Amino acid sequence: MPPDDTDSQVTVLGGGAVGLCTALELAGRGIPVRLIDRDTPGQGASMGNAGVISPFSVVPQSMPGVWKKAPGWLLDPLGPVTVHARHLPRFLPWALSFLRNGTSERVRQISLGMHALSDGSVDIYRQHLAGTGHEALLQDSCYVLAHRNPDTARDTGLDSELRRAAGARVEVIGDAALREMEPDLSPEFRAAVIIHGQARATSPGRLMQALADKLRSTGGEILKHEVKALRPGTDGGWQIECAGTTLHARRIVLSAGAWSARLLKPLGLKLPLEAERGYHLMFADPGVRLNNSVMDTDRKFVASSMEDGIRAAGTAEFGGLDKPPDPRRAEVIAKLARQMLPGLNTAALTTWSGIRPSFADSLPVIGEIPGHPSLYGAFGHSHYGLMMAPRTGRIMADLLNGAPPNVDLSPYRADRFGSV
Ligand SMILES: Cc1cc2nc3c(=O)[nH]c(=O)nc-3n(C[C@H](O)[C@H](O)[C@H](O)COP(=O)(O)OP(=O)(O)OC[C@H]3O[C@@H](n4cnc5c(N)ncnc54)[C@H](O)[C@@H]3O)c2cc1C
C-alpha cells in the first residue's frame, strides 16, 4: 500500500468540470485527494461547451410535445439532432425512455432534481476563483432566448413555470429592446425571452485550468493515466488498473463523463448513458460582438463572445462513444452562425467536437454505486455539466466527508434505471 494511502483518501477518476470541482471541494475540507485523467484536466467537453452557467438550469431536454418536433429535427439537414443508422438499435430504448420522461408530471419532478444541482452555481465558481487572479473568466450575463416569431417569445408555459419556481427573473422583450441589448444580432430575430442573473465563462478551457491550478495549490495531486479497469480490492478499497501501472484507492469518485459507464460495465453495471456529441466553432476576429449568451431557439444552438472570438456551439449527434466527429455537423453550425450574426467574419475559424454524457431523464448519477461500497459516481450531466459541476462537487464532498448533503439524492441514484 503506498504511504499516502490513508483511510480518508479519495481518488477522483476524470478531471472535467465535475471531477475538478469535486476534488477542489475535497481538498478544501482537508481530505487527501488525487485526480487522475488521461489528458490535461478539463480539456474535453468541459472546455468546448457554450460557457452558459445558469442557476436556473431547470428545464429538462425532454419536454411535453418534444415527440411532435423530433421527426422534423431529424429530417432537417440544418436540424439540431442527428442519429446514425448503425446506432439505432442501441439508441431506440434510450429515445423511448427520453420521451417517457417528457410528461408534465415527470418534468416537474426532474426539474426539482436539476434545481438542486444548479442552484448557486455562479457563486460557487466565484468562490473557487477568488484570489486566483482569474476572476474575470466569469462574467455576469443574461441568457437571451432569441425568437424569430414574436408570438413564440412568451413567459407562459411549463418552461417558464419551472424557471420561476427556481427563482429566475424572466422578461420578454420586443424588437427594439433586443436590438439595444444585442446590436449585432440578425434583424430576423424580433423578440426574446431574457433570463436574468446568470454568468458566462469567457474561456471554459482557461476556467478549467484555473481550477486545476487551484487544486494543486491546495494540496491536491493530479496524475496522468488512462484508466483501463476498476477492480474491488481485498481490503474494501479498489484497484485502479491504468495503462502501465496499477494504483490502489480507498475510495473512488468516478467522474469520467461519457466514458464512465464503460468503466462500470465489467463490474456488471449496465447504465444507459448515451454519448451525445456536440460541436463548436470559434470565430477569431469575428468583427461582431455578443453581450450575453444567445440561443437561437429555432435552431437550438448557443453563441457567446469569448476571450478569443465568438463561439457557436450546439448539435446533438447520437452515434456511440467511438464514432469519430462528422465535419458536416460543424458546417451546419457555421451556416447557422452566419444567419444569426450577418456581420460575422468567418475567415479565421476553428472547429471542435466533444461528447456530453447523457441519461434520458436529463439527470446525472450522484452517490455511492449500490452494491459497490467506496465507489461513488458523479457523471451524466448531459447539457448542463458546466453549470451543475460546482454543486455536484459540494454534494460529493459532503458525502465523502460523512456529512449528510442537504439534498435529496434519490433522483440521482444509479439504480433508478433498474439495471444495477
Ligand atoms: C457543444 C456543447 C455545448 C455545451 N454547452 C454547455 C453549456 O453552455 N453549459 C453547461 O453547463 N454545459 C454545457 N455542455 C455540457 C458540458 O460541457 C458537459 O456536461 C460537461 O463538460 C461534462 O463534464 P464532465 O466533467 O462530466 O465530463 P468531461 O468534461 O467529459 O470530463 C471527463 C474527463 O474524464 C477523462 N477520462 C475519461 N475516461 C478516462 C479514462 N479511462 N482514464 C482517464 N481519464 C478519463 C477525460 O479525459 C475527461 O477529462 C455542452 C456540451 C457540448 C458538447
CA dist 64 and 100 (Å) reads 9
Q: Which three cell numbers stand for residue 415?
A: 439504480
User: Is the CB of residue 23 below 6 angstroms from any atom belonging to ligand 1?
Assistant: no
Pairing of strands 138-147, 251-254: unpaired
Residue written as grid cell 450531466: 381
Tens of pLDDT, residue by residue, the chain (420 residues): 343 456 779 999 999 999 999 999 999 999 999 999 999 999 999 999 999 999 998 999 999 988 888 888 787 777 789 999 999 999 999 999 999 999 999 999 999 999 999 999 999 999 999 999 999 999 999 999 999 999 999 999 999 999 999 999 999 999 999 999 999 999 999 999 999 999 999 999 999 999 999 999 999 999 999 999 999 998 889 999 999 999 999 999 999 999 999 999 999 999 999 999 999 999 999 999 999 999 999 999 999 999 999 999 999 999 999 999 999 989 999 999 999 999 999 999 999 999 999 999 999 999 999 999 999 999 999 999 999 999 999 999 999 999 888 899 999 999 999 865
pLDDT digits (tens, 9 = 90+) for 293-322: 999 999 999 999 999 999 999 999 999 999
Residue written as grid cell 468541459: 46
At 342, the amino acid letter reads P
CA dist 3 and 153 (Å) reads 60
Q: Which three cell numbers stand for residue 314?
A: 450546439
10-47+206-270+362-417 has CATH 3.40.50.970 classification: no
Q: Check residue 218 and report its DSSP letter.
A: T
Region class of 382: left (phi > 0), else alpha (psi between -120 and 50), else beta: left
pLDDT digits (tens, 9 = 90+) for 170-195: 999 999 999 999 999 999 999 999 99
Candidate from 356, 387, 396, 412 with most ligand 1 atoms within 8 A of CB, to mutate? 356
Atom of ligand 1 nearest to the CA of 379: 26
CA dist 336 and 146 (Å) reads 13
Dihedral over Cα of 271, 108, 20, 351: its sign: positive
**How far, in Å, from the CA of 260 to the mean position of ligand 1?**
11
Residues whose CB is less than 8 angstroms from the CB of residue 127 and which lie 6 or more positions away in sequence, other chains included = none
Atom of ligand 1 nearest to the CA of 293: 8
Strand partners, 110: none
Of 247, 243, 324, 315, which Cα lies nearest the Cα of 280?
A: 315
DSSP 264-321: HGGGT-----EEEEEEEEEEES-S---SSEEEETTTTEEEEEETTEEEEEEEEEES-T
**How far, in Å, from the CA of 356 to the mean position of ligand 1?**
6
The pLDDT assigned to 325 comes to: 95
Of 213, 218, 239, 237, which Cα lies nearest the Cα of 228?
A: 239
CA dist 196 and 271 (Å) reads 36
- Tell me how far apart the terminal alpha carbons of the chain are, to the nearest angstrom: 30
CA dist 93 and 299 (Å) reads 25
At 123, the amino acid letter reads D
Structural contact between residues 356 and 365, judged by C-beta atoms closer than 8 angstroms: no
Residue 8: φ, ψ to 5°: -85, -10
Architecture label for domain 65-116+138-198+274-358: 2-Layer Sandwich (3.30)
Structural contact between residues 30 and 398, judged by C-beta atoms closer than 8 angstroms: no
**How far, in Å, from the CA of 387 to the mean position of ligand 1?**
11
CA dist 414 and 155 (Å) reads 35
**How far, in Å, from the CA of 328 to the mean position of ligand 1?**
22
Domain coordinates in residue numbering, the chain: 10-47+206-270+362-417, 65-116+138-198+274-358
Q: Which three cell numbers stand for residue 41?
A: 484536466
pLDDT digits (tens, 9 = 90+) for 181-239: 999 999 999 999 999 999 999 999 999 999 999 999 999 999 999 999 999 998 889 99
User: Is the CB of residue 383 below 6 angstroms from any atom belonging to ligand 1?
Assistant: yes
Q: Which three cell numbers stand for residue 48?
A: 468546448
Of 375, 360, 138, which Cα lies nearest the Cα of 236?
A: 375
Residue 125: φ, ψ to 5°: -55, -45
Atom of ligand 1 nearest to the CA of 313: 1
Atom of ligand 1 nearest to the CA of 43: 49
Candidate from 386, 391, 392 with most ligand 1 atoms within 8 A of CB, to mutate? 386
CA dist 203 and 21 (Å) reads 17
The pLDDT assigned to 1 comes to: 38
Structural contact between residues 313 and 50, judged by C-beta atoms closer than 8 angstroms: yes
